[in-house]
A and B are shown apart, each in its own frame.
Chain A
Amino acid sequence: MSTAITLQESQAHAGAHAAHAHHHEPFITKYIFSQDHKMISKQFVITGIIWAIIGGFFSVVFRLQLGFPESTFPWLEDIFGHWAAGGKLHPEFYYALVTMHGTVLVFFVLTAGLSGTFANFLIPLQIGARDMASPMLNMLSYWFFFLASVIMLSSLFVQTGPASGGWTVYPPLSALGEASEGSKTGMDLWLISMATFIISSLLGGLNYITTILNMRTKGMSMTRMPLTIWGLFFTAVLGVLAFPVLFSGVILLIFDRNLGTSFFLSDIVVAGKILPNEGGSAILFQHLFWFLGHPEVYIILLPAMGIASEIISVNSRKPIFGYMAMVGSLFAICILAFLVWAHHMFVTGMNPFAGAVFVLLTLLIAVPSSIKVFNWLTTLWRGNIRFTPAMLFAIGFVSLFISGGLTGIYLGNSSLDIHLHDTYFNIAHFHLVMGVASFFGMFAGLYHWFPKMFGRYMNNTLAYVHFWITLVGAYLIFWPMHYEGLAGMPRRYYDFANWESFKMFGGLNEFISVVAIIVFITQLLFVVNFFYSMFKGRKVTSTNPWGATTLEWTTPINPGHGNWEGEIPEVHRWPYDYSKDGRDYIPQTEAVGENESVH
């Protein structure tokens, strides 16, 4: 307890100091090597947006190949040189694009871009702290991420191309330069970049956990925290416990590639060469990878769940239904997330009994997920719903989470997975449930907290156009893919022309590609809106534009380093007192009345 108090006191001191000093802060410490959590979160979001454009563009390029396998696109040669000689993607480079699309979007956008942005921005503001527990580590977390980004980006420019073994980088393919061009220098850079990324993620995660546990303002008990904070808290716990396992996998793979060890290699003849490696297991890497890889799915999803819960409650003008059940289900997901990783490996020849255990645990994790869905629905029921852009994206998140989540019940049941594994059914499943859904959570969060971040509003009309095209487009792209999957159409194929079983989907592939291009261009509307509104948007005139109860709306419109000008406010109630006792909302800072019932 004493540590908590000292920390808070020192923070209060630092905050007061910063509030005096921030007027004449030099450019470098204010915008580049900033230790202000708000600036770091902006750095994360802008880097995330740049990566999202790159990763999205890659998907457009490989969708061109899938949709129009007969055509050539000369402009591709201008961009990619010999990798697209004559305007036709080389298969090796097609696989590199697929790999980079997955890596970039899963790790750099939906992990760093999502929890990096919102954990940094919201944790101190919503729990009532002047900054993170360690602003220095926080700054390092961003700069390690930046370094990882630079290394990953540089791998696009090496002679043999970037990694091309899929974002899961299964050895032996990823371990042997002879097996694939992308497994040469590109793969080394991928591994180094990922190791750096993991350091960034760990520094961030430790900081988030410490801050949430120790630096809550007076009266902010754990059960009075907004669900965004709960989501970010469990995300950080997952990351801190799971990322080190991938780290070990990455390091062992670096050893196998460069030092002649045999952790993952055994009995291999590649390119006519008999390798001396014996006794390793290629499956071991999959265990190490998915021990992170599955929690990773929830690292991506939980922040989006938290954001959606908060925004749905604020804009329905109703308390979130079943707060404790929401926290409990987040907790259950956090625990179960560690116990389901091998459902990605049902067809590796694993012990059937182990497989059975993973089936059981996998379908168990669907229970907390359904609790959350029904609670969101009940929150909407008899609300007074305001369709702000953020609210639309939160509703879209719920819709996509349902659609993508239900197909998880097919893939988690090993007897069905043995048919559907690695088909387009799987692509449709995870893109809906963790890809697009988390993107919707991220958009919702950005539209909602943009006024707090920049003191201006984003353009509503652009946001509405952005939402409706993206929602319809997401369904048009991924819904028909279920049918391709039910025909057994395998993922990661460059061309289906020679396959009697799959070639009848040519027309559908073309349709999906066209929609994907439209949706990608629509995302640029968001990007334009974001950067335009940052400088030219309508100015925020009241401190609490959405009429929300949480603490971030008690700060000034443009909070300085230290967040509150005077004392940090004290908290007296939970954050969801909307439409209670005839009042639209009651801020968390207001004391509980004498005759007032507590939820």
Chain B
Amino acid sequence: MTAFFLIAICVILFVVIFQISKASEYVSVLKGEEASRKQNNKINGFLMISFLILGLIGVWYCNHLFYGKTLLPQGSASVEGESIDTLLMVTIAITGLAFFITQILLFWFSFRYQEKEGKKAFYYPHNNKLEILWTTVPAITFMILVVFGLRLWFKLTGEPPKNAHVVEITGHQFGWDMRYPGKDNVLGKKNYKLYNNPSGNTLGVDFNDPASHDDIRTSEMHLPVGVPVKLVINSMDVIHDVGLNHFRLKMDAVPGIPTTLWFTPKYTTKQMQKRTGNPNFVYEISCDQMCGKGHFTMRGVIVVETKEEYKRWLAAQKSEYSTLMAQNATTPTAIENSIQVTKSETATKAIAKLEAKN
């Protein structure tokens, strides 16, 4: 019923506006086109200056309402993100200044120089000095932003510090899997052709590689606070993106092309709960690259904790190898077969084998 009324109101409004507009056309003919044009001009000139004033109030009001909901007041949760925030604030200041100057001039000029009786426009076709002025000033400003931006960019994309530990994160439709390298600090090799769903080897880990035997697989990422972490990012199927809004970073997960990203968590989850005043606060991994119908459900969780807590948590995890072995003890063929598949085999053979087994 409400829908019906809404539509009815819309239609009536529409018809009313249309009829008024039609009538105004006749009125303008009666009044004389010149006179009605001048009246329209005055009204629109007034609306121009009103739009400017209301717009500026609106900009302030919008900021008042929503600034608190952005990530800026709570600060970056990673050490590197703080530089990003600084650069962001500098950019906001510079572009904000340019925004206010140009918009105020635009609407002020429109109001101030509206058509008036007996006034002539000023014939002013060019002035090279002015052109040079507004070529060089923006150019210099942008170059300053480029210099600061690139210094930060090379730091963010450069080598992580030596003490960084490695976590692998792999996206699939629609979720994330993490892998920790275990005691040997080396992640076992992977080959996507070793993917085997029944056996649980859904990351395609090559268990022929001894380095893989102590690797830990989890669905939640735990990180110690204050220690740099290097993420090795993979995808099993389509392109995903590891979006870490609290840490101010993101990186695509591309099938066949591993990418990396590093940062240093600054606050534990518990500290962040206090900082934001939100007891439910949690670091989230959002998929930021369109990946199919479940894209919006592709949520991961990062728990940042103290070093002691992290060590305790890590010690409690079992290696993927041992879990899978135990799981498949009743049906041993699955995992053994998947181990036997080696890289030298052609793809078709591997698939035929897996299909036959399934």
Contacts and interface: CB of A to CB of B under 8 A. Distances in A.
Nearest to B348: A276
A6 interface: no
B256 interface: yes
Contacts of B114: 385, 387
A137 to B, nearest CB: 37
Interface residues of A, number: 131
A359 B249 contact: no
Interface stretch (B96-104, B179-187, B205-213): B96-104
B119 A384 contact: yes
Contacts of B193: 274
Interface in A75-115: 75, 90-92, 95
A370 interface: yes
B58 A475 contact: yes
B248 to A, nearest CB: 4
A268 B256 contact: yes
B329 interface: no
The residue in B28, B284, B296 that gathers the most chain A C-beta atoms within 10 A of its C-beta is: B296
Task: Determine the main DSSP class of B at the interface with A.
Answer: helix
Given A173-B238, A374-B134, A378-B130, A387 B45 contact: yes
Contacts of B297: 498
A392 B173 CA distance: 48
A370 B138 contact: yes
Interface in A495-522: 495-496, 498-502, 504-505, 508, 521
A415 B84 contact: yes
Interface in B77-106: 81, 83-84, 87-88, 91, 94-95, 98-99, 102-103, 105-106
B121 interface: yes
A173 B291 contact: yes
Given A399-B103, A493-B295, A419 B248 contact: yes
Contacts of A316: 113, 121
B106 A399 contact: yes
A422 B288 contact: yes
A392 B44 contact: yes
Nearest to B44: A387
Given A274-B351, A493-B295, A347 B124 contact: no
Given A268-B256, A269-B236, A385-B115, A416 B296 contact: no
Contact of A319 (B28, B88, B124): B124
A546 B283 CA distance: 60
A173 B95 CA distance: 37
Interface residues of B, number: 130
A418 B250 contact: yes
Given A316-B121, A363-B142, A415-B149, A274 B296 contact: no
Contact of B59 (A324, A472, A479, A496): A479
A325 B342 CA distance: 64
A21 interface: no
Contact of B149 (A321, A324, A375, A413): A413
B30 interface: no
A347 B87 contact: no
A352 B153 CA distance: 8
A106 B203 CA distance: 38
A464 to B, nearest CB: 7
B71 A486 contact: yes
Given A355-B153, A363-B143, 10 more contacts: A166-B290, A266-B255, A356-B150, A382-B113, A382-B121, A385-B113, A413-B91, A479-B59, A483-B70, A490-B286
Interface of B: 3, 10, 14, 17-18, 20-22, 24-25, 28-29, 37, 40-41, 43-45, 47-48, 51, 55, 58-59, 62-63, 66-67, 69-72, 81, 83-84, 87-88, 91, 94-95, 98-99, 102-103, 105-107, 109-110, 113-116, 119-127, 130-131, 134-135, 138-139, 142-143, 145-146, 149-150, 152-154, 156-158, 172-173, 192-193, 195, 197, 204, 233, 236-239, 241, 243, 245-246, 248-252, 254-257, 259-260, 278, 280-282, 284, 286-297, 299, 347-348, 350-351, 354
29 contacts: A91-B294, A170-B289, A172-B237, A265-B255, A266-B256, A268-B192, A269-B237, A274-B347, A274-B351, A276-B351, A280-B256, A325-B131, A374-B102, A374-B134, A375-B131, A377-B106, A382-B124, A384-B113, A387-B45, A406-B95, A414-B153, A415-B83, A483-B63, A488-B246, A490-B286, A492-B290, A508-B66, A538-B29, A576-B125
Give the 3 A-B CB pairs with smallest separation, nearest first: A488-B245, A349-B259, A266-B256
